[in-house]
C-alpha cells in the first residue's frame, strides 16, 4: 500500500507534484572536467596571466559555496561559465594594464619562429578584444572562441537571446573595424 492509499493524500500528492531538485554536481568532478576551459576562457576575457590561477580558484570556490543553489535549470557547465564571466569582469576592473602572453599559452611543438608569430597574433587579438565594451567582449569570446551557442550564452549571462545576437553583431563589427584599421597601419 502506498502513502496515497494509506490516507496521507495531501503529503503524498505534494511530494509527487513538487519539482524534483537535481543532485548538485560534485565540485571535484566539475574542476576536473572544466578547469582548463575556465582557465582559457578567463585569459580570453582579459584576466591578467599573473592572476588567472587565482581567478580560477575563485571561480571554483564560488561554485563550491553555491552548489546548494544550483537548481539544474541549466547545465553545470553553463552555470560554471556564468560564474567565471562575473569573476573575469571583476578581475578586468581591477587591472587595466597590458600584460605579455605567457610561454605556457604557446604551442611548444612549434618552431621558435612559429611561436613568435603565434605570440604576436595572440597579443594583437588581446589588444583588439580589450577595446570592446565588456558586454560585447563576453559574447564574442563565449560564442566565437569558446564555441557556446547563443542560447547557452543568453542563459549564462542572464540576458535575452536577441540581446546576445545584438552584442555579437556589434562586437564582430567592432573587431572587423579594428582589424581593418590595423591592416591600414601596417600597410602605410
Residues 102-112: tens digit of each pLDDT: 666 677 788 88
Higher local confidence (pLDDT), 49 or 24? 49
Task: Tell me which residue range forms the domain holding 75.
Answer: 22-97
The rounded distance, in Å, linking the Cα atoms of 103 and 81 is 25
What is the DSSP secondary-structure string of 147-163?
Answer: ---HHHHHHHHT--HHH
**6 falls within a domain:** no
Instruction: Tell me the per-residue pLDDT of 126-158, one tens digit each, with 9 for 90 and over.
Output: 778 888 888 999 999 999 988 999 999 999 899
Task: Give the pLDDT score at 183.
Answer: 66
Task: State which of 97, 132, 163 marks the end of a domain.
Answer: 97
Measured CA to CA in angstroms, residue 171 lies from 79, 114, 163, 175 at distances of 23, 28, 12, 6
Let me know if residue 74 belongs to a domain: yes
The DSSP code for 141 is I
Q: How many domains does the chain have?
A: 2
Tell me: do 152 and 87 sit in the same domain: no
Does 116 share its domain with 83? Answer: no
Q: What is the pLDDT of residue 130?
A: 80
pTM surpassing 0.85?
no
Average pLDDT over residues 74-99: 80
Q: How far is the C-alpha of 140 from the C-alpha of 153, rounded, in Å?
A: 10
Could you tell me if 116 and 182 lie in one domain?
yes
Nearest Cα residue to 94 out of 48, 128, 125: 48
pLDDT of residue 77: 86
CA–CA gap between residue 78 and residue 27 (Å, rounded): 14
Instruction: Check residues 19 and 173 and name the one with the higher pLDDT.
Output: 173
The pLDDT, as a whole number, for residue 31 is 92
Amino acid at each position: 500500500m502506498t502513502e496515497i492509499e494509506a490516507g496521507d493524500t495531501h503529503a503524498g500528492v505534494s511530494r509527487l507534484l513538487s519539482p524534483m531538485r537535481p543532485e548538485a554536481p560534485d565540485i571535484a568532478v566539475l574542476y576536473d572536467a572544466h578547469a582548463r576551459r575556465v582557465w582559457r576562457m578567463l585569459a580570453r576575457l582579459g584576466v591578467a596571466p599573473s592572476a588567472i590561477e587565482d581567478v580560477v580558484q575563485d571561480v571554483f570556490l564560488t561554485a563550491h559555496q553555491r552548489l546548494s543553489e544550483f537548481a539544474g535549470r541549466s547545465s553545470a557547465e553553463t552555470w560554471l561559465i556564468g560564474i567565471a564571466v562575473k569573476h573575469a569582469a571583476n578581475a578586468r576592473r581591477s587591472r587595466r594594464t597590458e600584460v605579455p602572453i605567457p610561454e605556457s599559452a604557446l604551442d611548444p611543438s612549434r618552431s621558435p619562429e612559429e611561436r613568435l608569430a603565434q605570440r604576436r597574433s595572440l597579443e594583437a587579438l588581446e589588444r583588439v578584444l580589450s577595446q570592446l565594451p565588456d558586454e560585447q567582449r563576453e559574447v564574442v569570446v563565449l560564442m566565437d572562441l569558446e564555441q557556446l551557442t547563443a542560447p547557452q550564452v543568453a542563459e549564462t549571462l542572464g540576458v535575452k537571446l536577441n540581446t546576445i545576437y545584438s552584442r555579437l553583431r556589434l562586437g564582430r563589427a567592432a573587431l572587423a573595424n579594428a582589424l581593418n584599421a590595423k591592416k591600414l597601419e601596417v600597410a602605410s
